[in-house]
Amino acid sequence: MNELLSTIDSPKDLAKFSDDQLTQLAAEIREALCTVVSDRTAHFASNLGVVELCIALHLVYDFSQDRLIWDTGHQVYPHKLITGRYHEFPTMRRKGGLMGFPNPNESPYDLFMTGHAGSSVSTVLGLKTGDDLLGHDERKAVAVIGDGALPSGIVFEAMNNAAELKKDMLVILNDNEMGICPRVGGLGKTLDKARTTPLYGEFKKDVSWILNQIPLVGGSVEKALVQTRDALKASLHGGMLFEEMGFRYIGPIDGHDLATLREYLEMVKNLNGPVLLHVFTEKGHGFKPAAEDPVMFHTPPPFERNGDDSVVSVKKSSSRAYTNVASEAIHAVMRRDKRVSVLTAAMCEGNKLGKVRSEFPDRFFDTGICEGHAVAFAAGMAKAGARPVVDIYSTFLQRSFDQIFQEVALQNLPVTFCLDRAGLCGPDGPTHHGVFDVGYMRLFPNMVVMAPGDEKDVSAMLDFALDYNGPVSIRYPKTGADLVDRPFVPVELGHSEILEWGEDGTIVAFGATLAASIQAAARLRKEGLEIGVVNARFAKPLDTATIFRAIDETGFVLTVEEGVLAGGFGSAVLEAANAEGHRTDHIHRLGISDQFVEHGDRGELLADLGLDAEGIFQAALQQIERAGVTKDWGNGLEHPA
């Protein structure tokens, strides 16, 4: 297997293959995809669906000069295999290996590092405009965008502008009827029209035959007839929307038929102005289990295959992940409070909201990949007296910054934000690590910023939020929820929870760093040091009484957070201490410095950043030395550093 794929160093090598060899190449690419997902979580069904499209694109265009952006970028694996990264492919999504999204540091064929949906039409328009301005107008420009990404508002901003500029660019709509879950929204229904009529090729032949029966009396009639044909075709195929926006709509065509793809790409390649080519694909195409269950196989847990393409085992993820705890808490509160609704932005599966959707279809809202809208929509619901819970990943919620500011915080509306994947999300890497939210949420007056220290805190914080008459954000990472054994202290606005107190120093953990902080403190206590641990719970409002007591009465204060230091929890502590004239020289912050964190296993990344128990232990030891804490280390051992 892979006799052909392993010989490809550049897309230019594709030209040497016959049609039969290209068919074999597609099979080899699918085999490589199956192999890579058998021992790690990676994007699978989306990649299976674009194999022929990717081969056709690289046959028709020269992307060493032409511009290509894969929107979102989770379907970029075939592109990576064809652009000289076959031999590195086994390192996919491993620390230090290939990224699971486009990465310009890997190849000049990757122009933008992406992972968030919807920006491709804008960046391709920008590339084309820049190339034209700088005398490279011979370069073609292509964006490939999925039907799930298409409803993102930015796509329409870009198309609106592209139609104005009349730039020669191609948008390929990869329509597989799926986001991660089945696609939602009115736009999807427009696209569905295209599935009720013959594919473009057949339709075009029929219309051409009809037109040929009409004796043409001159250019004006022909022009009118062609326009009639295009309007008829576009209205039949749901393309009218794009035609009205100023894009030439072509399609739909079969996105798994290599010859058809090449024919149409050759045709549209030299059309003037913005063109949208509507391509039908099947998510999971070519691997039956994935085609039958593209939701499960979007990023399946590792699985093994039988020879007949059946799947032997799929390892389920941990059932006590924070995500599950949160979705169960949301479900419970929806059962007892009819004011409560939940909103997701195309991440129903990722947010584990399937049961909520089934039981409360009228109070479950999937807006599609439209996070800005989701937040403003929730604000409207809150204004009407409902209690919306916006359940959006930390990194994707960044899309809604202005709506959080204007529609929620400024109005002081009771919207509850559940920020899943807050912190390091592991193999998805820098586009997905949710590490900025404490900073951006803390900026807004009225916003309460919380993070559960363990599983028990999650439902308690949600209950608090829904009783609180203002905006609240609750952040938690993509990992198993810890369960800290202690007499539970109810969640109270601006109050932390003191788990241990010790004069030699205090570790103040914000969020899910609590368990590692407890472990580090326990090791230090074994060395004879009296180290306290505080479960901060709130970054805003801060529990200044407890924090100032730790500052004034203990040897040092070490804050620990799974997020960037800039504007984070530790910054809040420094700001508060400074504002009230307390010492700050013995306050040390653990978190993420001014850097983007690469992809890798979550545990590896935490250890690299010193945010695991060992790192916290070592940081505390350094603070102990700095504080001049002298201790008889018991058995006379050297300092336990």
Ligand X SMILES: CC(=O)[C@@H](O)[C@H](O)COP(=O)(O)O
Ligand Y SMILES: Cc1ncc(C[n+]2csc(CCOP(=O)(O)OP(=O)(O)O)c2C)c(N)n1
Instruction: State the catalytic residues.
Output: 283, 371, 399
352 binds ligand X (CB under 6 A): no
DSSP letter for 207, please: H
Q: Which is nearer to ligand X, 251 or 350 (CB)?
A: 350
Closest C-alpha to 408, from 392, 391, 390:
390
Tokens standing for residue 105: 């540091």
Among 47, 299, 400, 623, binds ligand X (CB under 6 A): 299
DSSP string, 511-566: GGGHHHHHHHHHHHHHTT--EEEEE--EEES--HHHHHHHHHHSS-EEEEEEEEST
Q: How many other CB atoms are found less than 10 A from the CB of residue 54?
A: 26
Q: Say if residue 115 carries a ligand binding annotation.
A: yes
Question: What is the footprint of ligand Y within residues 273-302 (CB under 6 A)?
Answer: 283
What's the min distance (Å) between Cβ of 350 and ligand X?
3
Q: Which is nearer to ligand Y, 50 or 460 (CB)?
A: 50
Q: Which stretch binds ligand Y (CB under 6 A): 58-66, 115-123, 456-464, 521-529?
A: 115-123
72 binds ligand X (CB under 6 A): yes
Among 428, 455, 504, 530, binds ligand X (CB under 6 A): 428
Q: Which residues make beta-bridge pairs with 391?
A: 418
Q: Which residues make beta-bridge pairs with 566?
A: none
- Count of residues for the chain? 641
Contact at 8 Å (CB) between 564 and 592?
yes
Contact at 8 Å (CB) between 369 and 348?
no
Question: CA angle at residue 149 from 143 to 416, to 5 degrees?
Answer: 145
Instruction: Pick what 425 binds: Mg ion, ligand Y, ligand X, none; C-beta below 5 to 8 Å, kind-dependent.
Output: ligand X
Q: Which is nearer to ligand Y, 116 or 589 (CB)?
A: 116
Instruction: Pick what 442 binds: ligand X, Mg ion, ligand Y, none; C-beta below 5 to 8 Å, kind-dependent.
Output: none
Q: Say if residue 203 carries a ligand binding annotation.
A: no
Q: Say if residue 147 carries a ligand binding annotation.
A: yes
Q: Say if residue 74 carries a ligand binding annotation.
A: yes
Instruction: Pick what 346 binds: Mg ion, ligand X, ligand Y, none; C-beta below 5 to 8 Å, kind-dependent.
Output: ligand Y
Distance CA 531, CA 108 (A): 51
Site string for ligand Y, 347-376 (x = CB under 6 A): x---------------------x-------
Q: How many other CB atoms are found less than 10 A from the CB of residue 133?
A: 9
435 binds ligand X (CB under 6 A): no
What's the min distance (Å) between Cβ of 318 and ligand Y?
21
Contact at 8 Å (CB) between 34 and 109?
no
Distance CA 618, CA 578 (A): 26
Q: Say if residue 106 carries a ligand binding annotation.
A: no
DSSP letter for 240, please: H
Name, in order, each residue with C-beta under 8 angstroms of 277's C-beta and a sequence gap of 6 or more. Answer: 170, 171, 172, 173, 250, 251, 253, 264, 265, 268
What's the min distance (Å) between Cβ of 322 and ligand X?
12
Q: Say if residue 162 carries a ligand binding annotation.
A: no
Interaction site with Mg ion (CB under 5 A) = 146-148, 176, 178
DSSP letter for 507, please: E
155 binds ligand Y (CB under 6 A): no
DSSP string, 388-415: EEEE--HHHHGGGHHHIIIIIITTT--P
115 binds ligand X (CB under 6 A): yes
Angle between helices 51-60 and 19-37 (to 10 degrees): 130
Q: Which is nearer to ligand Y, 114 or 459 (CB)?
A: 114
Residue with the shortest CB distance to ligand X: 350
What's the min distance (Å) between Cβ of 430 and ligand Y?
13
Among 287, 297, 364, 396, binds ligand Y (CB under 6 A): 396
473 binds ligand X (CB under 6 A): no
Binding positions for thiamine diphosphate? 74, 115-117, 148-149, 176, 287, 371
The site for ligand X (CB under 6 A) is made up of 72, 74, 115, 298-299, 350, 421, 425, 428, 432, 478
Binding residues for Mg(2+): 147, 176
Where do contacts with ligand Y occur on this chain (CB under 6 A)?
46, 49, 72, 74-75, 115-117, 146-149, 174, 176, 178-180, 283, 345-347, 369, 396, 399
Annotated binding site: 74, 115-117, 147-149, 176, 287, 371
